[in-house]
Each structure stands twice: as C-alpha cells, then as structure tokens.
Amino acid sequence: MAHAERSPGTTRAGFALLVLGGLLCLLPFWFTFVFATHPRTAIFDTPPPLWFGASALENLRLLQERVPYWRNFGLSVYVAAATTALNLVLSAMGGYAFAMYEFRFKRTLFGVVLASMMMPAFLTMIPSFMVMQFLGWIDQPRALIVPAAAGAIGVFMMRQYMGSAIPRELIDAARMDGCGEFTIFWRVVLPLCGPALGTLGLITFIASWNNFISPLVVMRSAENYTLPLALRSMQSPNNTEWGALMAGSAIAMLPLIVVFLFSARRLVAGLTAGAVRG
C-alpha cells in the first residue's frame, strides 16, 4: 500500500514543533549564561533579565573568593581525562577478550558483568569508601579515578561492537602473519573501533565530569573538590552568591559542549553501529 504524501503545511508544522522543542531545551543554558553576568539582586527581578549584563568579572571575583575554583576546574579535567583514558583501554581489552577468545567460564563471567550493570551504584558506596580508606587514598584524586577505570557498560559495549564489526578472519590473518596478541589488539582491532571508542569516551567523560556522589564521599578538603562539589559548597541558606554560582556553572558547561561538538559524529555512528546488520 502506497503511503500518502505529506502536505507542505504538515511538514512545516512538524518542523516548527521541532524548532520550538529545541529552543525550550536550550532555554536553561541560555539563562545560565545570562545570569552569570548579573548580580544576585538582579537575578530575582520580575521579569528576570533576558540579556547579558556587566557583572561577569565581579561574579568571577566572588567565585574565586568562595572556592578555589580554577584549582577545582583543573582537578576535574584531570580526573575526567584520566578516567576516560583508562576506561577506554581497559573496557576495550575486556570487550576484546569476551568477543574474540574462548576460555573456561566465559559465559558465567560475562553474565556477572551484565548482572553488575543492574546493581544500584549506592550499594557499593560504603564498601568503596572502606577500600579507599584502607589504601590511604581518601582526599586524593586516585580515589575517583581507579574505581571508575573500567565499567561493565564499557566492557559490554565494546564486546558487542567488536563481535559484530570485526571479522574473526582478520584476527586469524594477523596471527598467521606473525603478529602477537597485543600487536593485533593495538594495531588491528583498536583502529577499527573508532565509533565505539568515541561513544564510550563521551559517555565516560560526561559521567566523570558530572559525578557528585563519589567526590562527596571521598574528598575532604576544598582544594581537592571537583566542580560539582565545589559549586554545591557555595550554596547556603541565606548567603548564596547566585551570580557567582551561575558563572561557575556556565564555565563548567564549556568543556562538555566542546567535547560533544568534537565527538557528536562518532557518537551517532557508535549508537547506530550494527543497526542495519542482519
């Protein structure tokens, strides 16, 4: 049965709804950047300011007075970058093992990986804190990096991608040419996993950058706060500098926007990989 052609009016209405929905989604970001340039008193005016003001530098000064913001920013970049790099390498290695090797208890171990994905994160909060305390890592960045260095979601994603996108014949041919297992992994397999690695890297970076609970549990001094914890520490019942808080939030969003713009194409390719395969 032939599908009825859509009228131009219907197409324009659908496009208008999409544009309206997109603008509504962007509205909180717009107000964050606008409020970052206004003093606290102006933010609560009725109606609120809709355009940029002249208090951006003053808000940045207040921000640095309340918290060591730029140190917190650098620490967040370090933790997110290190977590992402380790997660990509270790998840790719785990996914490669599950996709390309046959070994004893393979199905059982993969089942444990899948089961761990369904475990709420707060269940591991106290045991993780006890381990970090035993190792003497409390109030150190490694307490945030090492526990998040590999995740079940990353192993599962890489295993599924490698199993469907990389033919075993390619691995066998590389072995026949005399390549070792690590050479095959680094020089043959990883270059073919760009979409999956880009997707996993973006997801991991965003999750680490926005992580609030883990720093709250293991970090003690303001100098070692990550940005979510530093911004939360600025809030008080009666004396919150909302302009400075909005300035800190606006700056904190910039790395995520940049990372997303550079990896959006890989994200779409990774999420749609295998969708048309039979």
Q: What is the mean pLDDT of residues 7-25?
A: 82
Reading the block at residue 151, the tokens are 């995740």
Average pLDDT over the chain, rounded to an integer: 86
Q: What is the mean pLDDT of residues 124-138?
A: 90
CATH assignment, 70-272: 1.10.3720.10
* pLDDT score of 22: 85
Determine what percent of the chain is predicted with pLDDT higher than 90.
Answer: 37
Instruction: Indicate yes or no: pTM above 0.75.
Output: yes
Domain boundary assignment for the chain? 70-272
Reading the block at residue 201, the tokens are 């890297």
Check whether 143 has a pLDDT greater than 90: yes
Evaluate whether 162 touches 95 at the Cβ level (below 8 Å): yes
User: Cα 93 from chain centroid?
Assistant: 20
Largest CA distance in the chain: 74
Check whether 117 has a pLDDT greater than 80: yes
227 Cβ neighbours under 8 A, 6+ residues apart = 72, 73, 76, 209, 248, 252
Q: What is the mean pLDDT of residues 202-228?
A: 92
* pLDDT score of 194: 85
* pLDDT score of 267: 63
Cis geometry, peptide bond prior to residue 39 (ω within 30 degrees of 0)? no
Q: What is the mean pLDDT of residues 51-59?
A: 90
Alpha helices in the chain (DSSP H): 8-35, 40-43, 56-66, 69-100, 106-117, 125-135, 142-145, 152-165, 168-176, 181-184, 194-210, 213-218, 227-233, 242-272
> Angle at CA 58, nearest 5°, toward 53 and 60?
105
55 Cβ neighbours under 8 A, 6+ residues apart = 37, 38, 39, 42, 243
CA–CA separation, 82 and 145 (whole Å): 7
